[in-house]
Amino acid sequence: MNADAALIVVDVQPDFMPGGTLACHEGDAIVPGIDALLRRRLFRHVVATQDWHPRGHLSFASSHPGAAPFGQIELYGQPQTLWPEHCVQGTPGAELHPAIDWSAPDLILRKGSDPLVDSYSGFRENLGPRGIRPDTGLAGWLRGRGVNEVHVCGLARDVCVLWTALDAAALGFRTHLLWDLSRPVTPAGDEPARAALASGGIGIIDSASLLT
């Protein structure tokens, strides 16, 4: 068990699986591997993030008359993708995936609850109306437990996983993304994600390397 490293499992929820309202490409393929990794208890600290939106969230296309899912608007001076309704609080699609044993995480961090602010990263909300990205408290929680290295997996590789990894690195954590245990919204997101990870000094590894 690595005492100074944590595993962050991002948004492994039914709405991001095939058949869900915001299905990621092959999103269900990572479920067995994440379950197996959690059962190995390789990390003293495990964090699971959970998208948890109120109905009518500002990031939903349905909140903007005439807008279509995956279109873009400007929000607080930044481009904002308009998503299909997903991970609405209290719905089955917002639950953590039932095929995974979630007894390992010692923190479940719900994000995206502010109806006016989108939230990709586990560390900070997206830019809001006050011109800042509010802190979720995750960095302080990890540092308070002696964590200085994180491994990130989950969904989606080109959005919430990527933003979580980039913020972790920017906040001073040694950061690795488990490529085999993540999937993008669409395969077109993989090349830009790789480039952003390289620019952020983030290692791309497979989960098998953790077992050697």
pLDDT tens, position by position, 15-49? 999 999 999 999 999 999 999 999 999 999 999 99
Just list the catalytic residues: 11, 111, 160
Q: Is the pLDDT of residue 91 over 80?
A: yes
Percentage with pLDDT > 90 across the chain: 96
Read off the pLDDT of residues 109-161 as tens digits, 9 standing for 90 and up.
999 999 999 999 999 999 998 889 999 999 999 999 999 999 999 999 999 99
Cα-based distances in Å from 188 to 59, 180, 200, 201: 21, 16, 20, 22
Q: Which CATH superfamily is domain 2-54+89-211 in?
A: Isochorismatase-like (3.40.50.850)
Alpha carbons 85 and 62: distance in angstroms, whole number: 7
pTM: 0.96
Measure the CA angle with vertex 157, ends 156 and 159; round to 5°.
65
Q: Copy the structure tokens of residue 212.
A: 């050697």
- pLDDT score, position 10: 98
- pLDDT score, position 48: 98
Torsion angle of the four alpha carbons 4, 180, 111, 194, in this order, in degrees rounded to the nearest 10: 90
